[in-house]
Structures are given as structure tokens and as C-alpha cells.
Amino acid sequence: MSLNFRAFVASISAAATLAIAGPVMAGEHMNPMVGGAKMYANKPIAANASAAPNLTTLVAAVKAAGLVETLAGPGPFTVFAPTNAAFDKLPAGTVETLVKPENKETLTKILTCHVASGVITAENIVKTIEKGHGMAKIETLGGCDLMATMKDGKVMLTDPKGDVATVETADVRQSNGMVHVISTVMLPKM
């Protein structure tokens, strides 16, 4: 499901109503589902991603890069999580090559181009885009600057190579940060 601007505004209004109505206990927040799986705000990124059937390639890559403990740690992190379909867009054999032990450094560089420090909500991104006259730069831990823009009411991310991802599911809260599910793997210039 794409992030529609009207739906986004409605979700912010609902969140504001919940905040006014009273505190939400850990794990009670109504997170969007990812790949048909429930996501729990009281679980870390690594645990929730492992439960999502449409993020299995990402989870395998995170394991191969040795980043599971990092994404299970305190963070906070914001992860732009590419779906299995996003990985399928890469040239044939790319994922199989990247998960080999001898390519761990390259894989780590690619994966950390999907991770930013802190918690970045969809509301933060949209406000920054508006203040930035249509663009917002998101600095990642991998040293990639992702450029966020809006197109047809959807948040779009452009990587340093010019590849564009659509945010398909936004604001999936985690105990150690935030996840936004995206449609394309973001790649660093190499």
C-alpha cells in the first residue's frame, strides 16, 4: 500500500487523537501490518522484520552482513526496509553474490544506506520536504544521502545512483526506532 498524503494526514489525526485520549501502553500502538504480519511497537527492528514474509530477503542480507545484533540493539534507528520485490528488481544473481562472506563489506555498505540514526517519522519527512521547497536530505549511517520528495501524494526516496523508491508502508514503530517499507533497494555510488 502506497503512502497516500490524505491517508497520511488522517493517520496523523488519529495518532493525535490517541495521544489526547491517554497514554498507549507499549505494544498497544496500532502499527500497520507488514506483508500481512503484525508488527509490535514493543519489539526491536530485527524481531519485527523477521516476522514479515515480504522482508525475508532483507533479513537474510542483514544476517549475512552480521547486523542482526545492531538492529536488535537500543538504537534508535530508522530503517527504510526494501521488500523482497525490491530485491527482485536487482540484476539476476546480485543478492546471491552479495551474501557471500567475501562480499560482506559491500553488503554492509548497501544495507547501512537504508539506516538513519534516530527516529524519523513520515510526518518529519513531509514537513522537511515542505520546508526544503520540495526536497529533504536524509543522511544514512552508510554515508548515502537519500533525497526525499513527494509525487502524487507519495513519499519518494532517491539514492546517490538515481534509483527511486516509493514508501509503501510508513511509520511502523519499533522498540528501537522506526521502519518505513520501500519499493526499491537504495544503492551507494561505488
Four-CA torsion 30, 33, 39, 40, nearest 10 degrees: 10
Q: All 3 cell numbers of residue 143? A: 554515508
| Axis crossing angle, helix 5-21 with helix 122-131, rounded to the nearest 10 | 120
- Spell out the domains of the chain, with CATH numbers in brackets: 5-182 (2.30.180.10)
Torsion sign over Cα 120, 85, 8, 30: negative
Burial 97-107 (b: 16+ CB within 10 A, else e): ebbeeeeeeeb
Q: Return d(Cα 65, Cα 60) in angstroms, integer.
A: 9
Q: Please give the model's pTM, rounded to 2 decimal places.
A: 0.82
- DSSP code of 144? P
Give the residues of the chain that fall short of pLDDT 50.
1-28
Beta strands 136-139 and 115-117: pairing type?
A: unpaired
